[in-house]
Structure 1
Amino acid sequence: MTTDIAVDTALDIDDLHAYYGKSHVLHGVRFSVAPGEIVALLGRNGSGRSTTAKAIMGMVDARGGLCWQGRSLVGLAPHEIAHLGIAYVPESRDIFPRLTVHQNLMLGQKSATRPGRWTFDDMYGMFPRLKERQHVEAGVLSGGEQQMLTLCRALMGDPALIIIDEPTEGLAPKIVELVGQYLRTLKSRGIAVLLIEQKLTIALDISDRVLVMGHGSIVFEGTPQRLLGDTAVRKEWLEV
């Protein structure tokens, strides 16, 4: 396996193992994500992708090297990790359904008195539909609108790294395109992105590097072009 790890890294993972009780799920995972880099983590369901995200966020029992900006994350609680500048957008789109769009965004703010790099205007500029619906309860939004809201709420916490799990699942092509634009905007602002995806199209289109996971380990790391040219890897680890 060839690696092209950036020197100036934000997230460094080395020999990471994770467990659900006695079940050993991750087996020596190694990779890094640099500031302003989009890294896609691909693989079939059950390959360990979401467990990797949860291990980074302190949501599962993890052991090994897990460093953020030179500081170990192992043993920290999820809220402590979030306060260090890592945002996690789960596949479940955990919005507050009885609160309005604007109230959901307010809850995402890192500090109401010290605004971060991202403003309400930034959010509404990226997704004008949210501006139109800002006073509507989030629970009545469409699936695509809820995904927009979840992504924007994560940004209001002013993260330096955002981990996004299956952001395009079940979305219409036009909304998928908006998600792609959102990710490019993050990259342009220097934010590191770990994108967990099943769809090769968006992952290969916007990522700087791609990782393929199988049976709890990284089985491929390289550029999108290398993955496109590696039929054997795609057939064995990605294609249904």
Structure 2
Amino acid sequence: MLQIDNLHAFYGKSHVLHGVRFEVGEGEIVALLGRNGSGRSTTAKAVMGMVECTGDVLWKGQPLVGRKPYEIAHLGLGYVPENRDIFPRLTVHQNLMLGQKGARARKQAASAGARGRWSFDDMYGMFPRLKERQHTEAGVLSGGEQQMLTLCRTLMGDPSLIIIDEPTEGLAPKIVELVAEYLKTLKSRGVSVLLIEQKLTIALSISDRALVMGHGSIVFQGTPETLRGDAYIRKEWLEV
């Protein structure tokens, strides 16, 4: 589905990504691991058209480099940024409605009458706390609740692939477990996931494949089991 080849990305004169290559298949969870500053978030932003880049990013055979972020989203890619970009003055339900409107625009462009895979009931079923607070302004939610909301709002856009940047950052252990189950639910419904995560235990337990980044390049690709057994890669590129 998503194919990346020889991807270079820049912030002004700063050359951040150096020939990144990998792919994400249909219904697959791929973990993108690495220390802070390794280039993981920049990779996500490059795919979504949010940074200057060169190389090939193909989505179902269509080139993405040069497209605007909203055009990429309308093709079926979702992005959950690390900074939880919720709309603080809107309620939980209104935030979810914005995601749903994005899905409708995409479906109307693709085929009249097409329906999304997700509903409000799905979101509230996965995260009952959001149902309890559906009429509450998002800005007063806890960090964990805002993370749930960001995930769900993106999902309401009905993406076929979702890029999630550090979804468990700062969350309590019980919420981390909920997020892990949420990602498994995505896979069960045919949604591909590119998971940017620092918690190896969670990432390796739910992923089909693991990628490790270092200094803007992919330094390891393999199964979670292979990575667990590779002490050199873990020590050199992951452990603090």
Please give the TM-score of this superposition, normalised by the length of structure 2: 0.95
The equivalent residue for 1:163 is: 163
Q: Distance in 1 between matches of 2:35 and 2:117?
A: 35
1:35 Cα deviation (Å)?
1.1
> Would you say 1:18 and 2:9 are equivalent positions?
yes
Which residue does the alignment assign to 1:93? 84
- Aligned match of 2:47: 56
Structure with the largest fraction of helix: 2
Aligned positions, number:
231
The aligned counterpart of 2:232 is 232
Gaps of 5+ in 2: none
- After superposition, residues 1-240 of structure 1 pair within 5 angstroms as 10-109=1-100, 110-111=103-104, 115-240=115-240
Q: Which runs of 5 or more residues in structure 1 are unaligned?
A: 1-9
RMSD: 1.0
For residues 141 and 22 of structure 1, what CA distance do their matches in structure 2 show? 38
Shift of 1:238: 0.3
Task: Return the letter of the residue paired with 1:67.
Answer: L
Separation (CA, whole Å) in 2 of partners of 1:11 and 1:22? 27
Distance across 2 between alignment mates of 1:50 and 1:235: 21
Residue 154 of structure 1, CA deviation: 0.3
- State the alpha-carbon separation in 1 of the partners of residues 196 and 95 from structure 2: 24
CA offsets 1:98-156 (integer angstroms, 9 cap, x no match)? 11100000011112886411000000011111111111111111111110000000000
Report the AA paired with residue 52 of structure 1.
T
Q: Deviations over 1:142-184 (max 9, x none)?
A: 1111100000000000000000000000000000000001000
> What is the aligned-residue identity percentage?
80
- Normalised to the residue count of structure 1, the TM-score between the two structures is 0.95
